Structure 1
Amino acid sequence: QLGRDEAAKLQRHFALQRKHAALMAMRRQEIDGHIATMKAAGRNAKDALLSLMHGLEGVAHGIRRSAWATSEAYERRYLGGIMGRIAKDIPHVERMLKDEDFNANVAREMEQLGRKDGNPGLTGDRDALALARIYAETANMARRDANALGADIAARQGWTPHTHDPVRLLKADPAEWRRKLKASLDLTRTFEGLTDADIDRELDGIYRDITTGRDQAVNGEKGGTGPESLEQMLGTVNVARALGKSRELHFRSTDAWLAYNRDYGHGTVTGSLFHHLHGLARHAGAMEIFGPDPVRMLKRVADDEATAIRNDPDIKPAAARRLIAALRRVDEWASTRVMTGEAFIVGNTTIAQLGEGVRAWQALSKLGAVTISAITDPVILANNLRFQGKGFAEAYSDVFRHYLRGRGKGEDRELAFLLGEGYSGLIDRMVTPYAMQDAPIGTLSRATSAFFRWSGLTGFTDVGRAAGSRIMAADMGRHAKSGFAGLPERYRHVLGLHRIDEARWDLLRKTAWKGEDGTPYVTPDRIAKLSDRDIAGLVADELADLEQHVGGDDFTAQRAALIERTRTALEIDYRRFIADELSYGVMVTDARQQKAVTAGMRPGTAGGEAVRIAMQLKGFPLGFSQRVVGRAIKSGPRGRTAAGTFLKNSGHAGELIATLWVAGLFASWGKDLARGQTPKELWGKDGLNMATVAAAMVQSGGAGIYGDFLFASSSRFGRSPLETFTGPAVGELGKLADIIVNAKNAEPRASQITGFALSNTPFLNLFYVRPALDYLILNSLRESVSPGTLRRQNRRVREEFNQGYVLPREAFPGLSR
């Protein structure tokens, strides 16, 4: 029996090897084609690989089809699918998603699904059973997607998602963790055939993987101990090993897992599932673009391109040397490390937690007015719709109309959720916020999540992304009546940037449908209803080749599998287009920004923490310059001549500057009112107030968030350039050093200490909290420690912007004297 089992295992290994070889060959052909397209557009091999990782600005066909955008598409396929079904079938369950008792019932129901001896409905909670079915079906869909891309995750009866908190595990005694875990596990199912000593060794390895973060990376880390792995046997990395980590442990029951989760886990079954699906989506994005072994593919392609460059006499020697040197280090690129997840694997947990705490503290102390800065979001969204070819009046009326609808109700809400947008704020307590995904789970993440929710930014961003997704789905529905050649030039151009060609467009336009109000839409759920004959047209050559080599039932099965994979790929094409284009309108942190703010370095290392602290608050300005400004300059449709190209795009660039300046002016005035000041004067006795114009320009785009720190009054009165450009934490450290030096010299200044305390107190600067506190307490405190402070402030704002104050500065002026 043992021999037969080993033979079956080896046969499966070789079958997997053949599958990987075929997938790698297919991906290599696609990558080579993209490199040729990029070179024809005047770019080089390095640019081509970077575009495949996170997208670049430019006009080459498919330049926005990246691993990052594909990951976003898969995540919206899973999470958007879940939230869309909830909104459609069981909308009252939405408010129950954070309830721990309800989640426990959902987990118990999931355990019963698919088991021969299962008893669905055992909790008596019909809502829990309905949600359990949605969760189980989505998880199984994600498993099938991963397997189609090269993974090898077996189906599990009664599967539930399990996640572990590495911070809790690091604080626990490993032996005690192992003892408690063994008592909770079904050891026979989890470690069939292993001795007790072997089980301990396996658990020790799992403990190391979780606490070092190696289970989070696409390709894991080199080295390690233990028996030869499947990757070493086959000569290729099986990403399924990373994908399947959370499936390796089988608990005796859901209650056993719930008990373990209280000690060593985090979140509920909903949070655990979303965390699990987020990880699968990230891996799926890399695998779809680069194959089952992304890093090996990158190295092979880079080596071949380096050889081609060396043999190309048309490339100047100096340029060739630089490009070859860069390609030889492709596995060390920051972009590569971000894509594989290595840039987020924690080095030293204590150092990482300290760095995360410092950055979170600064965010909680500095970004209370960030929602007012986000006033520019609707204008940025409208400008991106204009880039796609939408008319001026139509773009702005659609944006403001959909913003007023909020996340929406009924069909509007279902539509936004189905498209994968508008629900982040509803689930932010269940999973670590995506903006902090480079941080260890726990610590200040919950406080940061609450801060941005209370500031209004979370809801405002959700509304903007829901509005943008509905508009773009409606725009595609409106264009569906036209063939590819009949589309407006700009819209056809943008589709091409995402590698949506005529054949794909003809299929997408067939799925158009009308909403309750008669608005036409194209949405991803309708792609599943396309006939097999329609889908087969996209892969006619592959089907013809398959028919020549395979016959009978095998051909029927393989044909059905190919058509289903192609159907999924078409859905991902659509979702990738929506996700990436929407991130031009309502920006979120993408892989390119992550590369810039982390330099590909790991948290919990000296270099990684230094870069993260220095780059704090700079991610959004960088994203604005890359996406909004970069697109306007580099990505517009080309003309036949340089002059023609200029004429095609100069109007859009000029409109972008003008409309963003107006939005920046309103953002600046909004912050004035939040501080209790009258709006800055735009026209004075001497004409246009250039200080007000400059302030509006600062607030008009990416500098709106960082500008509050960059151009704060302290920059005018003593902050060094080093402190200014190395982030708020370094600036505050400089202030603290000054206070310590003054105290040591017996010259402590109460006003200096007071100012430092107020600027570093979390939640104190929320735009609706600070004015009340200033009026009731803080202004009197400032005046008491530094008499004349308020008078000097009044004089400065009057001289610079001809401003005054709406209300008296102090509620009880006598207290400060």
Structure 2
Amino acid sequence: MHDKCANAVQAVRESAGRKPLTKAELDHIEDRVRAGMRSVANKDIDAWRGMSTGERITAGAEWASKQLTQEAELAKQRKLLQVSKQLETQNRIEDALYADPERAHDKNARQKVVKADIEQTYVLSGAIKADYMRQTMASIDAMKHGQNFVARAFDVDNPAMERDIVREIYKKADGSTGNDVAKAAAEQISKTNEAMRKRFNASGGNVGDVGYGYVPIRHSQAKVLGNGSDVQRRAWADFVLPLLDRSKYLNDNGDLMSDAEVRQMLTGEARGPWQEANIKAKGKDMQRRKPGIWDEIAGTSPREITTIRGAVGARANANSEHRFIHFVDADAHFEYNRAYGEGSLLNATLDHVNGMAKNIALVERYGPNPTRNIMAQIDRTAEHDGTPVRILEKGPTSIGAYWDYVNGNTNTPIDPTLARNFQTVRTTVGAIKLQGTLLAALGDVGTTFVTANYNKVPFFRTLGTAARLMAPGSKDLRDWLSSQGLIAENLEHGLTRWGQDNLATDWAKNLSAATMKFGGVTGWTDALRTGFQANMMRGLAEISKTPWAELTEWDRRAMSRAGIAEHDWSVVNQAEPSTYGSNKYLTPDSIYETGHPDASNIAPKLLGMIREEGEFAVLNPDLTTKVIASGNSGTWKGELQKTFMQFKSFPIAMITRHWGRLAEMRRSGDYKVDGAPALANPLAYGAALIVSTTLIGAITTEIKNILAGKDPESVGGDLKHAASFWTRAFTTGGGAGFAGDMLNAAFTSSDYGSLLSSLVGGPVLSTIFQPVHALAENAADAAEGKDTHVAADLVKVAKSNLPLLNLWYWKTVMNRLIWDNVAESVSPGVTQRNINKSNKEYGNDYWWSPGQTSPERAPNLATIAGAP
């Protein structure tokens, strides 16, 4: 150690009042003094160059002393926060566990409560995300500013506007682009980013201010990783090096780092020689390799699964690694994004909001080290429930599985290329199979009816609001509701109800988005769910001035289930509901305008309750469903599991949400308390759910018949047909969930190969099985001396797997004008065979027969009642 540096280290020790330090501590402080020298130089390079060596070391030592003091204070604060949050979590779980003392020691009682607590955190995370997203809605709209109708309809990016917004952010919105829209958007994005950073740090986080406008970037893990070789990492570093703001990178003396030093920081130590050395060591005294920024982005740094003991890295240190890359300007940012990024500024902004919201929720609920807190809860649960810790950590639906999903481990790809390829296949197949999804989504009316009555929300008023949101000229209302946190699902870019995510290649995602949009599903889902949530806000506004003690017991229990306590409600009492038109709504703005210091905690709780009930009304998978349907991303086992589970999230969610709620009603006895609605009764709720969804399913089945060119089916008739019809109605409406799909298949299909591939293998295996089944069926017919139609059946398979050409509103037109004629030309007689088969199975005739270019008559609606 340099003599002057040693003296500086001694001064740091004395200022801290410490006893003599160990060599390791001395080395650590020496590193800190050097870091201080770099920091001082970075703040004023000209002044630094005028300092002597001794002055530089002294300045570095003073910086190090202050840093050590601040870090000691932060460590102390974090320890206090961790203890406080652990006690808070413990009390919250114990209160929930012993709310019904007679059931507190049932099998897995505490495990269920801990998982419910994690799920509540997950809901809160989504609400915090929506709360911050609503603050950026104007900037999101600005990213599409100036585009024509066609560009907006196809969700085309607006590169010119996004470039101006990024330039303004880098220049702290100084107006240098001359684009006022971009300047305003940059101000809004920067303000939201800074608010999230400060809120995260207030709970023990450690994300520093970069000192310039921060623009989130979405690194492509697959592009950065490449083949994972040292050649790949050096190529990445060579590309990045000239794009950096080199004034941000100083060496130990506080001078600008050389190219070699910056490259070493980017790449870390070479992996090849390190692997060879460890192979030779045969597992003894294995050397640790120092990773670089490349490793952080590519995901090659040692990554511990949180449920392994000891792997409890603090969440408070999250969200800072990616800020080590400081681009020299906006153009450098664009160049990097073209080569190693993915998605647009909108994608990166939403990802950043989502990630920060998750981290905020975790540290606010569980402390700076949430995983350590959860480990403590697992230990207590093992003792209380008499369940081994390994089961609680490793089971497929264990506490550990819930935590890994919420913590982000489950969906962080191990092999990003493998994950992307699988997701691209699933997304493409999904887009093809979901072209008639709007008809299936009509079942949402049934679940909305039940959820509205359960929450005392007027059902027909909800339908009226939804109709208004779908009608032309509703932009102002939609924009206002978005500004209050009721964000459209297609903007949130999370896992949707149909199981898609953002890992697929761009063309597959765009195909899926276009299918959902042009098929009407996006508009239907957003309008109906938002309509329900808006009316729930209106209902809350009506009781917002009622003191806690004067609320009905039902309302108090509903609030408590969402984590809203008496203190929170007292703040709500101070709020003035927001007004839109002639209606009043209890909104996040209402809560924030009270000026109460707890407003930022209370508003997301209310928003979380409203959003969660909206996902009961228009069904979306809950955390339990996502855990069941998930697999470790980027592994063969995990990707196959997700492929097999594709589309099964909806029926599973029907069970976990609605049937789970029904079971909870029976357990809690909430239906007996003052103010409970009629549908709080388990029998009433179950009956209403079955009847409403089955009736909607029956209507949907008849609509499908008419759209296919057939007359409606008889809803009665002989027992076999009636059983088949009402079974299909029951499952189409969603009332039977996954078990109903199996029941429906048993009633209506004798093709066990197709049944197995669809139910067990999912739509990907089912699609692969289609041509195999067609060939096998024709081979069997040939063996029995029957007519074969190989060509027609293969044409049918090909036609059914064409994207966008089978959308529900023109599918039959395309069939009659093109595909029926193609099938008949390659296999004469196939048209009549199909007509005969349909008549035999369903008993209804065609009003627009296959092979005819125009309808022969109008649909005969009298066939519904069995009339000929």
Give the TM interval when normalised to the shorter protein.
Answer: 0.7 to 0.9
TM-fit CA distance, 1:171: 4.3
Deviating more after overlay: 359-368 vs 93-102: 93-102
Counterpart for residue 508 of structure 1: 572
- What amino acid sits opposite 2:452 in the alignment? L
- Aligned 1:144-543 pairs, distance under 5 A: 144-156=198-210, 157-171=212-226, 173-190=232-249, 193=252, 196-204=259-267, 205-212=292-299, 237-309=313-385, 320=386, 322=387, 324-327=389-392, 329=394, 333-390=400-457, 394-406=458-470, 409=474, 412-425=477-490, 435-437=499-501, 439=503, 442=506, 444-513=508-577, 515-531=579-595, 535=596
Contact 1:214–1:221 (CA<8 Å) still a contact in 2? no
Q: CA deviation at 1:202?
A: 3.0
Would the alpha carbon gap of residues 733 and 282 (structure 1) be closer, same or farther in structure 2, given more than 3 Å must change?
same
State which of 68, 87, 92 in structure 2 corresponds to 1:34: 92
Deviations 1:764-808 (A, max 9, x none): 432124212211122223334444433343334334443222313
Corresponding residue number in structure 1 for 2:11:
none
SS of aligned partner of 1:719: helix
- Please give the alpha-carbon distance, in whole angstroms, between the structure 1 residues aligned to 2:632 and 2:237: 27
Hey, what's the Cα distance between the residues in 1 that align with 2:775 and 2:720?
A: 46
* Cα distance change of structure 1 residues 300 and 637 upon mapping to structure 2, 3 Å threshold: closer
The range that moved more, 298-307 or 692-701, is 298-307
Deviates most, 241-250 or 145-154: 241-250
Cα distance in 2 for residues equivalent to 1:122 and 1:284: 34
Which of 47, 51, 73 is residue 15 of structure 1 equivalent to?
73
CA contact (8 A) 1:602 1:608 kept: yes
Superposition deviation, residue 252 in structure 1: 0.5
**Residues 432 and 801 in structure 2, CA contact (< 8 A), matched pair in contact too:** yes
Change (3 A) 1:626 1:124: same
Shift of 1:700: 1.1
| Structure 1 counterpart of 2:196 | 142
Say yes or no: does 1:673 pair with 2:714. no
On the 8 A contact 1:74/1:285 being kept in 2, the answer is yes
* Distance change (3 Å), C-alpha of 1:503 and 1:242: closer
- Alpha-carbon distance in 2 for matches of 1:578, 1:50: 21
Compute the displacement of 1:471 (Å).
0.9
1: CA distance between counterparts of 2:144 and 2:549? 41
- Report the CA distance shift for 1:756/1:493 in structure 2 as closer, same or farther (over 3 A): same
CA offsets, 1:141-192, max 9 Å, x none?
1111211232111123222222212233244843222111111111331566
Read off the aligned partner of 1:186 and give its amino acid letter: D
- Distance in structure 1 (CA, Å) of the matches to 2:432 and 2:242: 44
Partner-residue secondary structure (3-state), 2:318:
helix
TM-superposed CA distance for 1:209, in Å, is 2.6
Counterpart of 2:244, as a letter, is L
**Among candidates 75, 78, 82, match of residue 129 of structure 2:** 75
Indicate whether 1:597 and 2:597 are aligned: no
- The CA deviation at 1:602 is 1.5
Structure 1 residues without counterparts, runs of 5 or longer: 55-65, 114-118, 224-231, 310-319, 536-562
Q: Distance in 2 between matches of 1:471 and 1:83?
A: 21
Q: Tell whether 2:616 aligns with 1:584.
A: yes
SS at match of 1:436: coil
State the 1:443 CA deviation: 6.0
- In structure 1, how many angstroms separate the alpha carbons of the residues matched to 2:830 and 2:317? 63
Question: How far did 1:440 drift?
Answer: 5.3
Deviation at 1:47, TM superposition (A): 0.9
Q: Distance in 1 between matches of 2:649 and 2:621?
A: 7
Contact 2:485 2:588 (C-alpha < 8 Å) held by counterparts: no
Tell me, in whole angstroms, the C-alpha distance in 1 between the residues paired with 2:665 and 2:610: 17
The residue that corresponds to 1:716 in the other structure is 750
**Aligned partners of 1:164 and 1:261 also within 8 Å:** yes
Give the Cα separation in 2 of the matches to 1:248 and 1:572.
31
What is the number of equivalent residue pairs in this alignment? 735
Q: Distance in 1 between matches of 2:143 and 2:766?
A: 50
Once the 2 structures are TM-superposed, how far is the Cα of residue 573 of structure 1 from its aligned partner?
A: 1.4
Shift of 1:673: 2.7
Post-superposition offset of 1:620: 0.9
| Structure 1 residues 490 and 382: alpha-carbon distance in aligned structure 2, compared to 1, 3 A threshold | farther
User: CA 1:85 to 1:577, structure 2 compared with 1: closer, same or farther past 3 Å?
Assistant: farther
- In structure 2, the CA distance between the partners of 1:140 and 1:705, relative to structure 1 (3 Å rule), is farther
Q: What corresponds to 2:183 in structure 1? A: 129
Aligned partners of 2:404, 2:662: CA distance in 1, in Å?
29
Deviation, structure 1 residue 641: 10
* Deviation, structure 1 residue 742: 9.3
The residue number in structure 2 matching 1:556 is: none
User: Alpha carbons of 1:32 and 1:794: their partners in 2 closer, same or farther (altered >3 Å)?
Assistant: same
Change in Cα spacing, 1:9 to 1:714, as seen in structure 2 (3 Å) is farther
Q: Is the 8 A contact 1:369 1:671 kept in 2?
A: no
Contact 1:425–1:453 (8 Å) recurs in 2: no
Deviates further, 743-752 or 400-409: 743-752
The alpha carbon displacement at 1:135 in A equals 0.8
Among candidates 760, 763, 768, match of residue 733 of structure 1: 768
Larger Rg: 2
- In the other structure, the counterpart of 2:42 is none
Match of 1:58 in 2: none
The answer to which of 783-792 and 291-300 deviates more is 783-792
Equivalent pair of 1:373/1:704 in contact (CA under 8 Å): no
Displacement of 1:642: 9.3
What residue is the counterpart of 2:690 in the other structure? 657
Distance 2:312 2:640 in 1: 35
Distance in 2 between residues matched to 1:249 and 1:218, nearest whole Å: 24
Shift in alpha-carbon separation, 1:441–1:241, aligned structure 2, 3 A:
farther
- Is 1:46 matched with 2:111? yes
When residues 762 and 296 of structure 1 are mapped into structure 2, their CA distance, relative to the original with a 3 A threshold, is: same
- Check whether the contact 1:73–1:579 (CA below 8 A) recurs between aligned residues: yes
Residue 346 of structure 1 aligns to a residue in which SS? coil
Deviation at 1:308, TM superposition (A): 4.6
Q: Distance between the aligned counterparts of 1:403 and 1:636, measured in 2?
A: 35
Map Cα deviations across residues 563-588 of structure 1 (whole Å, 9 max, x no partner): 3xx22111221221122121111223
Q: CA deviation at 1:365?
A: 2.3
Alignment-mate amino acid for residue 224 of structure 2: L
1:807 to 2:848 alignment: yes
**Match for residue 695 of structure 1?**
728
| Inter-partner Cα distance in structure 1 for 2:140 and 2:337 | 25
Q: Contact 2:731 / 2:737 at 8 angstroms: preserved in 1?
A: yes
Percent identity, aligned pairs only, is 21
Shift of 1:514: 5.1
Higher RCO structure (Cα 8 Å, ≥6 apart): 1
Q: Could you state the TM-score of these two structures normalised by the residue count of structure 2?
A: 0.77
Contact 2:697 2:731 in 1 (8 A): yes
Moved more, 504-513 or 623-632: 504-513
| Structure 1 residues 152 and 208, CA gap change in structure 2 (3 angstroms) | same
2:821 alignment partner in structure 1? 780
Q: Alpha-carbon deviations, 1:380-409, whole Å to 9, x = none?
A: 22321211134xxx3223333433333874
Shift of 1:326: 2.5
Cα distance change of structure 1 residues 490 and 684 upon mapping to structure 2, 3 Å threshold? farther
| Residues 623 and 702, structure 1, Cα contact 8 Å, conserved in 2 | no
Q: Is this contact kept in 2: 1:632–1:653, CA < 8 A? A: yes
What one-letter code is carried by the residue in structure 2 that aligns with 1:4?
Answer: E
1:617 — aligned with what? 647
Q: Which residue of the other structure, out of 793, 800, 810, is the alignment partner of 1:759? A: 800
TM (normalized to structure 1)?
A: 0.81
Return closer, same or farther for 1:714/1:265 CA change in 2, 3 Å cut-off: farther
Shift of 1:426: 5.6
1:415-439 Cα offsets, whole Å, 9 max, x none, are 32023234343676xx997953373
Alpha-carbon separation, structure 1, partners of 2:700 and 2:732: 6
Tell me how far apart the structure 1 counterparts of residues 422 and 671 of structure 2 sit (CA, whole Å): 51
Q: How far is 1:14 from its partner?
A: 2.2
